[in-house]
Amino acid sequence: MREGTSAVEALQRELAESASGLSLGGGLPDETLFPRGALGRAFVAALHRPAGEALQYAWPEGQERLRAFVANRLRARGADVGPEDVIITNGAQQGLAIASQILCRAGSRVGVDPETYPAALALFRARRVLPVREEGGGAGRLAAWYKMPAMGNPRGREMDPAERARLLADRTPIIEDDAYADVRFDRRPAPRPLLADAPDRVFHVGTLSKTLCPGLRVGWLVPPARQRQRALRLKHSADLQSNSLAQAIVEEYLSRADYDAHLARIRRHYARKAGALMEAVARHLPQVRVEPPGGGFALWLQSEEALDERELLEIAVRQEGVSFDPGSEFRADGAGRPLALRLCFSALPVETFDDGVRRLARAWRKARARRVGVRVRQAGRAAARVSPVRAH
Ligand SMILES: Cc1ncc(COP(=O)(O)O)c(C=O)c1O
């Protein structure tokens, strides 16, 4: 999503306004994959539903057929879920907000991965909940874990079995963010969710934002059964219900479309783009470490170089017309070291990758030169202090 602290966001907005700017940040899906024609037909069909259903108020849990769709897909992955367990939310973000409202108080600690989804960190901080970097398991004083077991953002990795086992052995509640579960590059289906193994303490959150389109804001929350009424009250107090029209459009779309074929297509598409961006990075930024992702929208670049990420971003945006997501945005402690960058292959056309990474490499060289200049000036001042030369 479009995400970030205000200084970074200001730079990214500046870039978005320039016609020649290339944004390798942001984590937006590829707009060429939005099934516009099919959604248009679904929109018309939704408007013609009897009793003006798509334009009318509805219950806070959301529409039945959509909840059944979510439950069926989770059942296929091993979770014992029925439509009555699902709450349709305004995107996954609202599911995360409701889950954290139930599980955490001001001052609570939530265990997160070393790099995690920035808008979840922002959500916790806004509630005065402290996100802390913890590896899975054995942390009794946490109010909850926030994890992306199926496919992580930003690294594009599935959780390893040892961490999964540690999390399941622990009794701490888990907010399971499944947003990227269906954007994986191998041919395997999305893995068994943690919800399947610990339904009494997993708040499972999903979305159609990554696979269909984010603009409709259709996501879901499957809370533990004993928390369902509380989750529904929170949902109702926030916005009464999720958008009826968006839900009806998605229901109509799903009733006509071959959604699995759509998923297979987008997975191939993003896998190709990931490979192309990897190649551009290898050509122009050989100094960075990057692992091929198993899914998701982005590459995670790391370097031992002592560059200041904000300085690099400023040079990249203002002088070279390219942006990226700085690594500190993804860390619970906001640290900018070791230097890391998230580069998204999802939204931009492949033909722009070479130019985009070349611009970033130029910005990198300028940031490095500026650092060297600063060090030389500092060394000069230190030498002047150590051996003051008096003019006679
Ligand atoms: C890991 C993760 N979770 C949740 C979300 C929010 O998704 P939604 O658009 O459904 O609110 C995002 C969006 O970027 C995400 O990357």
Query: Cα(72)–Cα(76) distance, rounded to whole angstroms?
Result: 6
Main-chain dihedrals φ then ψ at residue 363, nearest 5 degrees: -60, -40
Query: For ligand 1, atom 3, which residue shows the shortest CA distance?
Result: 179
CA 362 to ligand 1 center in whole angstroms: 31
Ligand 1: atom nearest CA of 117 is 1
Tokens describing residue 184 = 């994986």
Report the candidate in 92, 86, 110, 67 with the shortest Cα–Cα distance to residue 195: 86
What single-letter DSSP state applies at residue 295? Answer: B
pLDDT at 392: 39
Query: For ligand 1, atom 14, which residue shows the shortest CA distance?
Result: 1
Beta strand pairing call for 339-344 and 325-326: antiparallel
pLDDT in tens, 362-385: 999 999 999 887 777 777 777 666
CA 179 to ligand 1 center in whole angstroms: 6
The tokens 């874990």 sit on which residue? Answer: 145
The length of the chain, given as a count of residues: 392
Q: What share of the chain is helix, strand, coil (3-state, %, to 5)?
A: 50, 15, 40
Q: Distance between the two ends of the chain, CA-based, in angstroms?
A: 65
Does ligand 1 lie within 6 Å of residue 346's CB atom?
A: no
Does ligand 1 lie within 6 Å of residue 29's CB atom?
A: no
**Residues 333/28, Cβ–Cβ less than 8 Å:** no
Per-residue pLDDT in tens (0 to 9) along the chain, 392 residues? 555 568 888 998 889 888 899 999 999 999 999 999 999 999 999 999 998 899 999 999 999 999 999 999 999 999 999 999 999 999 999 999 999 999 999 999 999 999 999 999 999 999 999 999 976 544 558 999 999 999 999 999 999 999 999 999 989 999 999 999 999 999 899 999 999 999 999 999 999 999 999 999 999 999 999 999 999 999 999 999 999 999 999 999 999 999 999 999 999 999 999 999 999 999 999 999 999 999 999 999 999 999 999 999 999 999 999 999 999 999 999 999 999 999 999 999 999 999 999 999 999 999 999 988 777 777 777 766 654 443 33
**Does the model's pTM come out above 0.85?**
yes
Sheet holding 87-90, edge to edge: 87-90, 218-222, 202-207, 174-177, 144-147, 109-112, 130-133
Query: Cα(253)–Cα(34) distance, rounded to whole angstroms?
Result: 12
Does ligand 1 lie within 6 Å of residue 209's CB atom?
A: yes
Does ligand 1 lie within 6 Å of residue 300's CB atom?
A: no
What single-letter DSSP state applies at residue 261? Answer: H
Contacts of 227 (CB under 8 A, 6+ apart): 102, 203
Query: Cα(333)–Cα(133) distance, rounded to whole angstroms?
Result: 8
Query: For ligand 1, atom 7, which residue shows the shortest CA distance?
Result: 92
pLDDT at 245: 98
Report the candidate in 176, 180, 150 with the shortest Cα–Cα distance to residue 270: 180
CA 92 to ligand 1 center in whole angstroms: 6
Distances (CA, A) of 290 to 6, 282, 378: 27, 9, 32
Tell me which of 89, 116, 207 to substitute to probe ligand 1's pocket, judged by most ligand atoms within 8 Å of the beta carbon. Answer: 207
Query: For ligand 1, atom 2, which residue shows the shortest CA distance?
Result: 179
Beta strand pairing call for 298-303 and 174-177: unpaired
CA 208 to ligand 1 center in whole angstroms: 9
Main-chain dihedrals φ then ψ at residue 200, nearest 5 degrees: -80, -10
Contacts of 271 (CB under 8 A, 6+ apart): 185
Distances (CA, A) of 20 to 32, 95, 223, 312, 351: 19, 36, 45, 19, 14
pLDDT at 5: 63
3-state secondary structure (DSSP) of residue 304: coil
Ligand 1: atom nearest CA of 3 is 14
Tokens describing residue 248 = 């009806």
Report the candidate in 328, 344, 317 with the shortest Cα–Cα distance to residue 118: 328
Query: Cα(170)–Cα(199) distance, rounded to whole angstroms?
Result: 14
Helices (H), the chain: 6-17, 36-47, 64-76, 91-103, 118-126, 161-169, 194-197, 228-239, 244-256, 259-284, 309-315, 353-386
Hey, what amino acid is at 295? Answer: G
